[in-house]
Amino acid sequence: MNNDKVAVITGAGSGVGKAVALALAGAGYRLVLAGRRSAHLDEVQAQANATHGAADRILCVATDVTDASAVESLFAKAVARFGRVDLLFNNAGRGNPPGSFLEWTPQQWRDVVDVNLNGMFYCLQQAFRVMRDQSPQGGRIINNGSISAHAPRPNSAAYTATKHAVMGLTKTAALDGRAYNIAVGQIDIGNAMTDLAARMAKGVPQANGEIAVEPLMDVEVVAQSVLYMANLPLEANVLFHTVMATKMPFVGRG
């Protein structure tokens, strides 16, 4: 499939980021894959090439999103290679420290905030600058939020707080993007089968104190949701999109 669009994907080496990268590769996007582990990015590139013949359409850039200068370099390399950026899937994130938040250190708290909020802001800021200045102007940003932005889990203060902040970032960026033809939306995911969510199949604490196994969905469903959002014309925007395992305990009281 021919497609001139250029997408930057953070956290692209595994989980949701990897699934989205492969889906976008299949749709013909030119991709800039960002993540901390170069070997994982190379594996995604190899898989995309084997499946879609996409090797010449992919640039891998080892990036720590908590480093603002590294994020600036990421977008500079994207523009140097492909000339523009049409899509940012702002995906890099991490979960809570283990155990009760009463035992967390200040550094454990900061580690989550640095990735889930600061890193997301740095990437959004650089994407805005590129999309504002390129011709034709504009682009799309999809932030990876979480249903934790609507309903928290026990002992999830760091992750939940940052995902609430991401919701605010999405709303304000959607407003600020209007001046530059930039559409900003968010996908909130509930229990996709990834390494991060694998513990759901073994049983996780519920609000009532019980431990319960939760249903999971194929991560490819999430990838197709992001692809749908990405392929909309810039005159239309999905501000918030929730995709979840149908029977997970989220809606109502379990």
Catalytic residues, by residue number, are 159
Q: How far apart are CA 36 and CA 2, in angstroms?
A: 29
- The strand pairing partners of 184, in sequence order, are 141
Amino acid letter at 254? G
Please report, in angstroms and rounded to a whole number, the separation of the first and last CA atoms in the chain: 42
- The strand pairing partners of 211, in sequence order, are 205
Q: How far apart are CA 252 and CA 254, in angstroms?
A: 6
SS3 232: coil
* Nearest C-alpha neighbor of 8 from the set 33, 43, 41, 40: 33
* Nearest C-alpha neighbor of 223 from the set 44, 42, 39: 44
Do residues 239 and 142 lie in contact, with contact meaning Cβ atoms separated by under 8 Å? no
Residues in Cβ contact with 206 at an 8 Å cutoff, skipping those fewer than 6 apart: 154, 212, 249, 254
